[in-house]
Each structure stands twice: as structure tokens, then as C-alpha cells.
Structure 1
Amino acid sequence: MSNTNSIHWNTFSKKSFDYRGLNADDFFKGIYLSYKLHTAKPDSAIFHKAVEDAGIDVRETLFIDDSFANCMTARSLGMSVLHYKPGDNLESCILKELEQKEMI
């Protein structure tokens, strides 16, 4: 889920997800972009659209974002959240969160 526009997404996704000929669609089952959904985080509407489309249970979902406001919206909908701080080791943060939730 990203607050972005088409120009930024098309440029960013090609640079960030180019790995051995793979692209963003190869790494994610669903990609939810604000410009396509006509709503943006932290508005709960974008979360509702993504949850409905993906068919996920919010109680089994870990939402990761660097915006506190976005995390609070996700938490208010019943998701577990990880407020990521750029520069932190994301893998370590996720493992710590999962351990705390006894998911691993």
C-alpha cells in the first residue's frame, strides 16, 4: 500500500524491485496504490479497500509503515502494527514483532 502517483510509482517500482528480471508484481500478491484507489493513507477507506480485495483477516495482519498516523489507522481497524523508523533493520524489527505476538 503506497500513497503515490503514477509517475513516481512507475519510476520507483522499476528501480526498487528490479531483481533478475522480476518486478514489484512478482514480489507481492497485491499492490494498493493511492492514485488507483482514489484515496490515501491514513484515510481508513484505503485500508478497507485493500482488506476486502485481499480477503485478509485484519487480526492476522501486520501493517508496517513509517508514518505514525498510518499505523494508528491500521491499529484502529484491528491490525497489528510496526511503526518502522527508516534506518532500522527491518528484518530484525519484523522478527521482534512476530516473537512478541508469538507468531514464530
Structure 2
Amino acid sequence: MTNATTRLEADLERLGLTHAVDAVVNSSRVGCAKPDPRIYRLTAARAGAAVERCLFVDDTPANVEAAREVGMTALHFRGPHQLREALAPLLEPRTA
């Protein structure tokens, strides 16, 4: 999810990143932008996940709060150490 311009798709193509993600929800294409609750719900739906199963990471406190208000787990990004910590339980090998 991004508050980007209509040039985003061309930029991703030029950078060879179109296959790096399953979907891009671009505010300029969907008609609503962060922190509008609709874009968070739309993003979860496009990912095929309940909002409660989503982790939203952003450096803007208002966007993080909006994600929490719709039910997402949200992280106010201030540095890579936070993201590593938040993702660690998902990336660690599972033991039986």
C-alpha cells in the first residue's frame, strides 16, 4: 500500500520490481489514501487476509494509528531493528 502517483507502475517496471510483490495498492489508482480506513481494508482484501492478520509498517504516526483502528497490527517504523524484532517470530524456524 502506498500513497504514490500514477507513475508508480512505470517506475516499478523500470526498476525491475514488478514481480517483487504479489500486489500493489496505489492510492492514486484506488481513490483513497492513507490514513483513510478504506485503503487498509482494501489492501487486506487484495492480500486475501483478514485485517487482524496484517502487519502495517509506516513512518507516519497517523497512518499507523489508522491501521490499528481498523484492526491491523501496526508498527511505527523508526529503524530496521524494530522491523527485525517484529518479524522475528515469523522468520524463525518452527520446531515440532
The normalised TM-score by structure 1 is: 0.73
Indicate the residue corresponding to 2:37 in structure 1: 44
Distance 1:36 1:65 in 2: 20
Q: What whole-Å deviation, never above 9, does each CA across 1:37-64 have from its counterpart, x for those lacking one? A: 0110000011121122221122221101
Gaps of 5+ in 2: none
What amino acid is aligned across from residue 13 of structure 1 in structure 2?
A: L
Distance 1:12 1:83, change over 3 A: farther
What amino acid is aligned across from residue 64 of structure 2 in structure 1?
A: C
Distance 1:44 1:11 in 2: 27
Is 1:6 the equivalent of 2:6? yes
CA apart distance, 1:81: 1.0
RMSD (CA atoms) = 2.0
Gaps of 5+ in 1: none
CA apart distance, 1:2: 0.6
Paired residues of 2:59 and 2:77 also in contact (CA < 8 A): yes
The normalised TM-score by structure 2 is: 0.78
Calculate percent identity across the aligned residue pairs: 26
Distance 1:61 1:14 in 2: 26
Q: Give the count of matched residue pairs.
A: 91
